[in-house]
């Protein structure tokens, strides 16, 4: 049994040294124009899915569908979101900023997020997404403002 434990510890140490060596060698791309590996995509998507499933709000949008809230949502989207996620006025092409981002932001005029539950998208906007250019709006925008955008574009 002692040999088995020593073997496990040795394997863990060798794995840690190997991982560190790969990181330090630059073999894992850090540039935004690199193609992500299947492992990187799986790790990021699995972690995001699990976190959102656990933390995203489950209820309906608390903002009422009114003209005032729709106009507010349109202004907030135009000011804060369109630069990366595209313009809803008919031009569905990627903005110059979106073209250079990794991971590519969905172009909401064409890609949409309508198939996601509202709470999932709300969570992504409020908390941002690690390893992407999506910022957290937790301290910058009240929940009701975030929700107003969904009334306008959701």
User: Where are the domains positioned within the chain?
Assistant: 38-153
Task: Tell me which range, 33-37, 49-53, 79-83, 116-120, is most confidently predicted by mean pLDDT.
Answer: 49-53
Q: What is the pLDDT of residue 96?
A: 86
Angle at CA of residue 104, ends 103 and 106, nearest 5°: 130
Place of tokens 């992500």: 36
Alpha-carbon gap, residue 65 to 81, rounded angstroms: 20
Instruction: Work out the widest C-alpha separation in the chain, in whole angstroms.
Output: 72
pLDDT of residue 20: 93
Q: Rounded distance, CA 135 to CA 101, Å?
A: 13
pLDDT category, 13, cuts 50, 70, 90? very high
pTM to 2 decimal places:
0.72
- CA pair distance 63, 70, nearest whole angstrom: 10
User: Is CATH 1.10.760 correct for 38-153?
Assistant: yes
Q: Mean pLDDT over residues 8-18, rounded?
A: 96
Q: Is the pLDDT score of 153 beyond 70? A: no
Of 114, 105, 65, nearest to 87 by C-alpha is 105
On the question of pLDDT at 5 being above 90, the answer is yes
Rounded distance, CA 28 to CA 21, Å? 11
Mean pLDDT, the chain, whole residue set: 85
Supply angle C-alpha 47, 52, 53, rounded to 5: 100
Q: What are phi and psi of 14, to 5 degrees?
A: -65, -40
Distance CA 133, CA 94 (A): 15
Summarize pLDDT for 27-64 with one digit per residue, the tens. 888 777 788 888 888 988 899 999 999 999 988 888 88
- Based on the number of CB atoms within 10 Å of its own CB, is 69 exposed (0-12), middle (13-18) or buried (19 or more)? buried
Task: State yes or no: pLDDT of 15 exceeds 70.
Answer: yes
Q: What is the pLDDT of residue 89?
A: 63
């Amino acid at each position: 049994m002692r040999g088995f434990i020593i073997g496990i510890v040795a394997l863990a140490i060798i794995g840690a040294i190997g991982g560190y060596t790969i990181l330090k060698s630059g073999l894992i791309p850090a540039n935004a124009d690199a193609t992500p590996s299947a492992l990187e995509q799986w790790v990021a998507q699995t972690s995001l899915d699990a976190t959102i499933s656990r933390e995203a709000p489950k209820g309906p949008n608390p903002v009422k569908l009114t003209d005032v809230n729709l106009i507010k949502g349109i202004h907030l989207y135009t000011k804060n979101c369109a630069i990366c996620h595209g313009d809803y006025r008919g031009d569905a092409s990627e903005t110059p900023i979106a073209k250079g981002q990794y991971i590519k932001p969905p172009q909401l005029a064409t890609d949409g997020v309508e198939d996601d539950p509202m709470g999932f998208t709300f969570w992504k906007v409020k908390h941002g997404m690690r390893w992407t250019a999506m910022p957290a709006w937790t301290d910058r925008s009240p929940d009701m403002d975030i929700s107003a955008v969904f009334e306008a574009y959701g």
